[in-house]
Amino acid sequence: MTATPAALAKDTAARGPVARRLSARPELGAMVGAVAVLVFFALAADGFLRPAGLGTVLYAASTIGIMAVPVALLMIGGEFDLSAGVMVTSSALVSSMFSYQMTANTWAGVAVSLLVTLAIGFFNGWTLTRTRLPSFIITLGTFLMLTGLNLGLTKLIGGTVSTRAIGDMEGFASARAVFASDITVGGFQLRITIVWWLALVAAATWILLRTRAGNWIFATGGNADAARAVGVPVDRVRVGLYMGVALAAWISGQHLLFSYDVVQSGEGVGNELIYIAAAVIGGCLLTGGHGSAAGAAVGALIFGMTSKGIVYAQWDPNWFKFFLGAMLLLATLLNAWIRKRAEASS
């Protein structure tokens, strides 16, 4: 009788080792895709592989990647955030307008913006856990409300659709150094967002794979009832994940503000789908429970390479969206296949 489970175990170990390894490393598929895209544009586009070209690509990837990483964690936890795109703009607007209207120091606005943005994330998570409505609906509501608030409040307070310039205010230079400066690494000129992006990937990977919270995120997305039954604080995990997205939206928002010094209140709409697409291309399952931060980072890198590669190749930029749509479909098909193999049981 002891032989029965052992024999079964051997049987399952023999079943699809490739799918098993892929399912353990969700980002592998995206990495293959990234190499293919890199080779393609290296051949098709002049200047793509030069330091300036790569710097531009990495910058584009980092602005998406900063958001794609927490969005990926949220998706692994089984939820969406459609408000992530406009939340970035809200964060920048709050920071700019508070500094301009209330104080003389930009850091005050930065701090208030952090609190407000985290509160928006908390609102998303709290409403979700209280109402048990689908996160698609709740964050669609937040998305629409924020879109309206961004435009309405900006116009009400400042009279126009963009904020006033705050470039001459105290603290602007130091805030720009933190959120929107260039740094030189080994002779290369790189935007500081790349550092933020890599730091977020490292932190998110650590949390996912090496902490109790990470275990809980996978379990909440993979089977929330089972997780709750063994004592995982599922609701707290969800609220925390939404606040993680908000934290990243704050970083992105401050970057937006301090690199241009004025903010357009209509920006950000549509970006939420790009973050989700990057996470999905990176191996996150739409249904939750599976994915990685590194995968989302690679997904963002594919976005960066494609958007800038098309420019360097001097093509019609409209092909960008077509290309990304195709990538997304391929990635989802691959994910579905992996999941089927991994879940195939008895």
Decide whether 103 or 215 has the Cβ nearer to other proteins.
215
The candidate with the shortest Cα–Cα distance to 30, out of 288, 307, 339, 328, is 328
Written as one letter, the residue type at 19 is A
Residues 6+ apart with CB under 8 A from 182: 189, 190, 191, 192
β-pair partners for 185: 188
Distance CA 225, CA 209 (A): 21
Decide whether 64 or 208 has the Cβ nearer to other proteins.
208
User: Do the Cβ atoms of 77 and 91 come closer than 8 Å?
Assistant: no
Q: Name the minimum Å distance from CB 188 to other proteins.
A: 30
Read off the DSSP letter of residue 182. E
Decide whether 146 or 227 has the Cβ nearer to other proteins.
227
User: Do the Cβ atoms of 291 and 201 come closer than 8 Å?
Assistant: no
Q: Name the minimum Å distance from CB 216 to other proteins.
A: 8
Distance CA 335, CA 282 (A): 10
Decide whether 155 or 210 has the Cβ nearer to other proteins.
210
Q: Name the minimum Å distance from CB 296 to other proteins.
A: 17
The candidate with the shortest Cα–Cα distance to 154, out of 103, 108, 91, 93, is 93
Decide whether 2 or 318 has the Cβ nearer to other proteins.
2
Distance CA 274, CA 271 (A): 5
Rg, C-alpha atoms of the chain: 21
Decide whether 67 or 234 has the Cβ nearer to other proteins.
234
Q: Name the minimum Å distance from CB 143 to other proteins.
A: 29
Q: Name the minimum Å distance from CB 343 to other proteins.
A: 4
Q: Name the minimum Å distance from CB 196 to other proteins.
A: 18
Q: Which residue has the tokens 């992006």?
A: 197
Decide whether 31 or 213 has the Cβ nearer to other proteins.
213
Q: Name the minimum Å distance from CB 227 to other proteins.
A: 7
Decide whether 10 or 130 has the Cβ nearer to other proteins.
10
Read off the DSSP letter of residue 164. P
Q: Name the minimum Å distance from CB 210 to other proteins.
A: 4
Q: Name the minimum Å distance from CB 179 to other proteins.
A: 23
Q: Which residues form the interface with other proteins (CB under 8 A)?
A: 1-2, 4-6, 8-10, 12-13, 15, 20, 23-24, 206, 210-212, 214-216, 218-219, 222-223, 225-232, 285, 289-290, 339, 342-346
Cα angle: 292, vertex 215, 61; to 5 degrees: 20
Positions of E strands within 158-254: 182-185, 188-191
Distance CA 245, CA 51 (A): 31
- Burial degree of 317 (CB within 10 A; 0-12, 13-18, 19+): exposed
User: Do the Cβ atoms of 327 and 33 come closer than 8 Å?
Assistant: yes
Decide whether 211 or 314 has the Cβ nearer to other proteins.
211
